[in-house]
Structure 1
Amino acid sequence: MIVRRFTFDHSSRRIALIGGLGAVALVVVAIFDLSAALHGLLAALLAWIAVPVGALLLLLIHRLTGGRWGEASRETLSATARTLPLLALAFLPILLLSPSLFSWAANADAAVHPDVADLYLSPTLFGVRALVILGLWSALAWTASQGLLGVLGAALGLALYGLSISFAGIDWVLSLDPHFKSTAFAMSLAVSQLVAGIAFVALTRDEAAPATSDILALLVAFSLGLFYLDMMQFLVAYDGNLPDKASWYLRRSGPGEVAVLTCAFLGTVAVPFATALRARWRRSPAALQVCGATALVGVSARVLWLVLPEASSTALSWIAAATALLAIGCLFVGALGRTARPLLTQRKRRAHGA
C-alpha cells in the first residue's frame, strides 16, 4: 500500500534536486520561447493534477456507493487527494503569463465573438475562475480525505465538481483555440481524471485481495468510457465537416501526434482491457500495477496530444513538457511522501493498540 511504498526520508533531497533541474530546464526553454514553455507547463500540470483530482472523485463516489474497492484503497486515495493544494501552486505562472499562452488573452479580437471575450475570456476573469476552481477542488480534497463529508456533502461536492470541470475544460484546453468547440469535452476531461485516479491506485497496490479485480474493473470501465467520449467527439466533427473542427484535428494528425495518440490508446485502453480478459491476470497485483502504469502514461500522452499542437514551436513545447513533467512529478512525489506519513503513523498506532 501507499503508506509503505511512499516514504521519502532518505531520498527527498534527490527528488528535490531532480525536480529543481527540471524547473531550471523549463526556465531555459522559456527564455527562448515563453509560449512553448507555457504550453509544456500547462500540459504537464493537467497530466499530473489529474491524479489527485481523480482520487478526490473516487473518495466522493465511494462515500455514496460504498464497495470493497474504496475500502481497500482509502489510504491511497486520501494521501493522493491531499497533494492537490500544492500542485495547484504550479498554476501560478499560467495565471500570471496567460497572454503568452492564450491568443484571446493578448487580443480579444482573436475570439469568435470579441464582445463575449471581453466579458468571459479576459485574463482577470480567467484568473478568478481558476482560483475558484482550484480552491474548490483543494477544499473538497481536504475534507473528503479527512472523512468529514457525509452522503449529502459528497453529492454536493460531485455536483460542484461537475460545474467546475465545465469551466476548467473551456478555459484551460479548449480556449487554446478560441474557434474550436466541443460540448462533450468537459465530460471526457472528468473521465480522464477518474482514469488517472484509479490508475494510480492500481500502480501502488501490492496486495493480493478480492478488491484487486474490482480496481481493474473500474480502470477498464473508466478507460472505455474515455475512449467512447473521444471517439464520439471525433465522429461528430468528422460527420459535420466544419472547417474549425477539421483544422483542430488536422493539427493533431502528423506522424508524431499520431504516435502519441497511439501510445495513449494502448496504455489507457488496450492493456487494461486485455488484462481483464484472463481471470488469473485480474487477480494479480503485478498485472494490476502494469495496467496502472500504462494507463497513467496513456492519460499523460493524451493531454500532450490535446495541448502541445497549439504551440507555435512544437519541438520546444515538447521539450518544455518533458521538463515540466519531471519538475511537477517530483513536486507530486514529495507532497505524497508528506501526506502519506501521517497515515503510516496512524497505522503503526493501530497495530500497537494505541
Structure 2
Amino acid sequence: MESHHALLVLARAGLPDAVLRHLLETHGAPEPALAAARHGAGLKLPAECQASLRRPPPGPLAADLAWLAAPGHHLLGWHDPDYPALLRRSPSPPPLLFLAGDPALLWHPQVAIVGSRRPSPAGRQRAHAFARTLAGAGWAVTSGLAEGIDTAAHEGALSAGRTVAVVGTGLDRCYPEKNAGLMARVAAEGVVVSEHPPGTPAIASHFPSRNRIVAGLSLGTVVVEAAQRSGALISARLASEAGREVFAVPGSVDNPLARGCHRLIREGAALVEGPDDVVAALGPVAAGLAEQLRGRLGTGLAGPSTHSAAGQPQGDEDHKRLWSALGHDPTGMDELARRTGLTVAALSSMLLLMELDGRVVADNGRYARHP
C-alpha cells in the first residue's frame, strides 16, 4: 500500500503524463520517483505541483486509498510489469490506470468497436452481433461505455464472453448515468479502465483522450456507423497512429451515419462485412501478443512440445495443479480456487494463457478443457 500511496501522491500533483512516466521509468518504483520529484529532479515543476508533492491534500488521497481497498479495485503504474504491453507501445500512454475488474484481461487480445451515439436500429444490431461473435470466438471487445454503438458492443460481448470499458471519469462515477448498471456488470465480468482518479467528473476533454486508450489497448478498431464529424473517427485515427488495424463497416449511401465509414474506407481502412473478416486479419497479430504473455508470466508454455502425451502442461506445480482441477464440464473461478488453493489473480493469468493456447475454453466466467 506504500507503493500505492506514493503513486497516488504523484498522480494528484498534476504532473504532465510524460514527466510522470519519466520519473517511474527512471527510478523503477513510485517511492523513489516521489522522493526525486520532491527534490526537484531538474524537472522545473510549477509551484503548485511542488506544493502538492510535499503536502498532498489528505482528503482526496484518503478517498483514493479507500477506493483501492475495495475488492476488485486495482491501480497499475507505468513501472508495473503488468501494465498492458500494447498500450505501452501506443502514442502518449497514460502513466497509470485505475481498474475495476480483472487486470489480466488487459493482456487479452482485444478488438475495439466504436461508432455513433445515435445509431440506426440496424447499426445497433450490427454492433451487438459483431461483438457477440468476436467475444464468442475468444476476443475481448473494447469500447467506451458511451450511448449507442458502445453500449451495444458491450452488451453483445457480455452475452458471449469478455469486454473492456474505458471511461473518461473516475471509476466511482458513470457517464452517461443510465449506463451505471452496465458499468457494474462490466466490472463484475470484465474490466473497467480509467486514467482518472476516483471523484473525477465527466469533462468534455476527457472523452477524446479516453479514445486513445481504447485504440491503444486494441489490436484493431472496428467503426460501425459514424457521421463525417464523429468521435469514432478520432478513435480510428488514433488507432492508425498507433500502428493498429482500422476496419469500417459499409452502409447505404442514403444513410448519413455511413458516410464516416465510407470516408475511412476511401482513406485506406479495411472494409469488413462481418466479424470473420476481422478475425482473419487480426489472428496472426494476436498470436504475437500470446507470445508476449508467455514471456510475462514466465511459464515456458511455448507450444505443443510443452505438453505431456495426455495434454497436461509440463510447467510449474501451480499449472499442473490447475490442469488437474479442470475438467470437461465448465467450472467457476471460485471452485477452481477451492480445488487448487491458488488465488483468483493467479488463476486468471494462467487460464488466460491456456485459453490463448487453445487448451481451455471459457463460457461466462466458467472454464473447461478444450474438447
TM over 0.5: no
User: Which protein shows a greater Rg?
Assistant: 2
The answer to which structure has the higher strand fraction is 2
Give the number of the structure with larger relative contact order, counting CA–CA contacts within 8 Å between residues 6 or more apart.
Answer: 1
TM-score, normalised with respect to structure 1 = 0.29
The answer to which structure has the higher helix fraction is 1
